Amino acid sequence: MSQDSPSAHGRAGAPPAPGGAGGWGDRGEIKPRGGGWAAGGSGLGPRGWAWRWALWLWIALAILGAFFYAPLAQDFIGQSSRILFFHVPMAWTSLVAFVAAGAWSVLYLWKRRPDDDRAAAAAVELGLVLALLATTTGAMWAKVMWHAWWNWDPRQTSIVIALVFYGAYLVLRGGIEDPEARARLCAVYAVIGLVVAPYLYFVMPWMAKFTLHPKPVVNPAGKVEMNARMLQVLLMSSLGFTVFFFWVHGLRRRLLRLADRRAVTAAGSAAS
């Protein structure tokens, strides 16, 4: 709550001015062109066409590399190892998205800027899509290698809990109407996610050693590092996915901002 000096104040009874500054429907936030993440104009800027084409080229090269440059991993059935060049980057990027959502949530609770809340929400949405894709590709690979779509490998467990948690985050978002309360409560929930994450990522895989069911197959992550060309493609793909995420995230964030502004403008014109 901002406190400032009583330097300029009027007596009571000033007529309310429609469309006050700041807040959830701030009309001054949107910059259609120019610098910054949300701009769309000149060629070499951070949002320019050159940069976008470079990303497409990079991803195309990663796809080609995955199928024609990288060798097949040993002890893998058929061509199944190639899915790792997409599966691992997607899982990695979903992790980046969820951590970023947590960071933006902390930032929101600190600064209370509506834009940080939108950024967190956009990151969770994209992270969920990526985690779903990673889960699906993982299950496809598991069907080939382990002859079962699903077998509660610790990593599968972790990603399913992440899906449930961030799904709950979106349900919570839908359940609160007041933007201020929604942003605040969702931000706290995302921070709780950060607090619990170490238990999901470290403690539960560690606990799997103690379960009565032995793990049927060793974790595939260890095998990826064996070949230099495979590693090159994997890193290339991971970087491509990460940059791709931040690009789409910027678009999504702008869209949410525009939707908020349009809703406020509509309500304002209905009022007058």
Residues lying near other proteins in the complex (CB under 8 A) are found at 1-25, 109, 112, 161, 164-165, 168, 171-172, 175-181, 184-185, 187-189, 191-192, 195-196, 199-200, 203-204, 206-207, 209-210, 212, 263-264, 266-268, 270-272
Kindly list the distances between the CA atom of residue 92 and the CA atoms of 130, 134, 153, 260, in Å, as whole numbers in the listed order. Answer: 9, 9, 17, 31
Q: To the nearest whole angstrom, how small is the minimum distance from the Cβ of residue 35 to other proteins? A: 26
Q: To the nearest whole angstrom, how small is the minimum distance from the Cβ of residue 137 to other proteins? A: 22
Q: Which residues contact 220 (CB under 8 A, 6 or more apart)?
A: 84, 141, 145
- The residue among 55 and 196 lying less far from other proteins, judged by its C-beta, is 196
- The residue among 74 and 269 lying less far from other proteins, judged by its C-beta, is 269
Closest CA to 129 of 104, 81, 97, 83: 97
Residue 219: both structure tokens together: 């974790």
Phi/psi region, residue 147 (left: phi>0; alpha: psi -120 to 50; beta: rest), is left
Helix H or strand E encompassing 270: helix 228-271
Closest CA to 180 of 21, 26, 24: 24
Residue 34: both structure tokens together: 């120019």
Render the burial of 155-189: b for 16+ CB within 10 Å, e for the rest.
Answer: bbebbebbbebbeebeeebeeeeebeebbbebbeb
Q: To the nearest whole angstrom, how small is the minimum distance from the Cβ of residue 106 to other proteins? A: 11
Q: To the nearest whole angstrom, how small is the minimum distance from the Cβ of residue 120 to other proteins? A: 14
- The residue among 48 and 179 lying less far from other proteins, judged by its C-beta, is 179
The HSE-up count of residue 36 (CA atoms within 13 Å, CB side) is: 10
- The residue among 112 and 252 lying less far from other proteins, judged by its C-beta, is 112
Q: To the nearest whole angstrom, how small is the minimum distance from the Cβ of residue 164 to other proteins? A: 5
- The residue among 57 and 164 lying less far from other proteins, judged by its C-beta, is 164
Q: To the nearest whole angstrom, how small is the minimum distance from the Cβ of residue 99 to other proteins? A: 16
- The residue among 77 and 267 lying less far from other proteins, judged by its C-beta, is 267
